[in-house]
Amino acid sequence: MSRTLLDDCYDHCERLTKRTAGNFYYSFCGLPAAQYRAMCVLYAFMRVTDDCGDAEDRTLPERVADLDAWQQSLTDALRPGWSINDTSGWSEGARLVLPAMRDVTEQFAIPHEHLFAVVRGVRSDLEFEISNLKFQIGTERFQTFDQLADYCYLVAGAVGLCCIHIWGFHGDEATRRAIDCGTAFQLTNILRDVGEDAVAGRVYLPAEDLQRFGVTVEDLIAQHCDDRFRALMAFEAERAKSFYLSAEQLLPCLEPHGRPILKAMLQLYGGLLHEIERRKFDVFRQHVSLPRWRKLWIAADAMIHQRLLG
């Protein structure tokens, strides 16, 4: 593999991360050089995968085709004996990201199935949107929490598993804790975006939970923040907290340089959950976010602790 070409791929991933990762980028900066570059590559891989699913200028079938092409390029890049010169037919994003992603998987022994899980997660969103077109309103995507947890693994837990390989970890317990961490983060995103998602025809909260609290899809679309909705959200928030408690147990399983990043992520996403609760679960009137100063403070704290580790 040409080192010059590979360096160009790494440089592209770093530029993409600087431009789009926001405050998370700064929490990477104190890592040792190899781990810092690997995190930029992983982020770039996630960014391109998400962009394939979110491209509003493309129809849903076209997005599925784009994602399938991306997955095929990933398969090619990870196969034994692949050469960086063997990128004929690849998109520009694949040519600039996947060679570096292959190099990172080799350096940090990241199981390939974690990367393919991420692609499956984004594809499952598209498949559901296509199947949901026949309905005039949104419908519940998952009947049970176990089904939702499987989805959380694909779109978040698998990313957490990639991260701990880059950061370094010990013990079998770390794998379960990393998956729980991803579930905590994804549940927080779902609670924050429940109104926006419902209007767009996406309902991620399990049907069994909606029925338990007497909340309908129509209620979510109409943005009814009544006692039933607040009780539903409080129930889901407590569930998310249980996963945050498990995620905190991942910290001692990590090598020292990985702990400040995880701590920052727990503070950011946990802070969002706290803000949702502080607003008494009214996520409809205003998008829930943390103040910019607080996000910068969390990122700076992570960077300082990483620097102190030397």
pLDDT digits (tens, 9 = 90+) for 257-274: 899 899 989 999 999 999
Residue 122: inside a domain: no
* Strand partners of residue 169: 254
145 and 290 inside one domain:
yes
Structural domains counted in the chain: 2
- Please give the distance of CA 23 from its chain centroid, rounded to a whole number: 15
Adjacent-strand bridge partners of 139: 202
C-alpha span between 130 and 102 (Å, rounded): 31
Residues 249 and 294 in one domain: yes
Question: Phi first, then psi: what are they for 183, rounded to 5°?
Answer: -65, -40
**Domain annotation covers residue 121:** no
pLDDT at 138 over 70: no
Residue 116 in any domain: the answer is no
Residue 126 is assigned to a structural domain of this protein = no
| Range in 30-34, 92-96, 245-249 the model is least confident about | 30-34
Confidence of residue 177 (pLDDT cuts 50, 70, 90): very high
Nearest Cα residue to 63 out of 72, 71, 55: 55
User: What three-state secondary structure class fits 178?
Assistant: helix
Mean per-residue pLDDT for 106-126? 96
297 φ/ψ angles, rounded to the nearest 5 degrees: -60, -45
The range of the structural domain enclosing residue 43 comes to 1-110
Domain match, 79 and 4 both: yes
How high is the pLDDT of residue 291?
73
Share of the chain above pLDDT 70, in %: 93
Residue in this structure with the two tokens 């962009």, named with its chain if needed:
51
Q: How far apart are CA 130 and CA 133, in angstroms?
A: 6
CA dihedral 253, 255, 260, 262 (to 10 degrees): -40
Please give the single-letter amino acid code of residue 68: D
Confidence of residue 188 (pLDDT cuts 50, 70, 90): very high
pTM higher than 0.75: yes
CATH number reported for the structural domain that contains residue 280 in this entry:
1.10.600.10
- Residue 149 sits in the same domain as residue 102: no
- 238-253 pLDDT, tens digit per residue, is 999 999 999 999 999 9
The reply to whether 96 and 189 lie within a common domain is: no
Looking at the structure, do residues 219 and 155 belong to the same domain, yes or no?
A: yes
